[in-house]
Amino acid sequence: KLLPSIVPAAWKATAAVIFLHGLGDTGHRWIEAFAGIRSSHIKYICLQAPEDEPGIKQAAENIKALIDQEVKNGIPSNRIIVGGFSQGGALSLYTQKLAGVTALSCWLPLRASFPQGPIRGANRDISILQCHGDCDPLVPLMFGSLTVEKLKTFGDPANVTFKTYEGMMHSSCQQEMMDVKQFIDKLLLPID
């Protein structure tokens, strides 16, 4: 089991962001990106996937265990955002009982097994930020657009934001990371 990369909160952590990388990438690369946009009260955790990627169900269970650990550490689940890039972003859409989800350059896999109709309970009002480059050759923009339309059917469509970035391929850019920071800071305000 590989250890995650962590940017600790500058003070006591009152919120957490758990981020999942895509295939062929590492958590170490993403931790550098989050270190550049960090907020002092938030702990950033970038998971490092093993070489033999587990299936979605196993990976979702691993993420749930990490969320449970953060809750035991004193961070309520409604102060945790799970996000990811590409396959990691797709997986983040399957997490539950969170403050929000941020999904970068991803799609909704296993659409047929995803819940149908409006979501009830804790996730009904979850905020989702999905970002996508308009020149992505690996996950075409159309897949991102279809995913966002599906996500809007589960709860309040006003809680689902879709941002596109002109000329961006299957990668990230400074403007996208600033939009992610704004999304995180809006949902995870400092607690006195």
User: Would residue 86 show up in a list of annotated catalytic residues for this protein?
Assistant: yes
Contact present, 126 and 80 (Cβ < 8 Å): no
Per annotation, catalytic residue among 41, 105, 127, 136: 136
Decide if 136 is catalytic: yes
Handedness of CA 54, 55, 60, 65 (dihedral sign): negative
**Which of 39, 77, 145, 170 does the annotation list as catalytic?**
170
Q: Is residue 41 within 8 Å of residue 185, measured between CB atoms?
A: no
Tokens 């993403």: give the residue. 30
Q: CA 9 to CA 40: how far, in whole Å? A: 5
Catalytic residue check, 68 = no
Q: Which of 5, 86, 92, 172 is catalytic?
A: 86
Catalytically active residues are 86, 136, 170
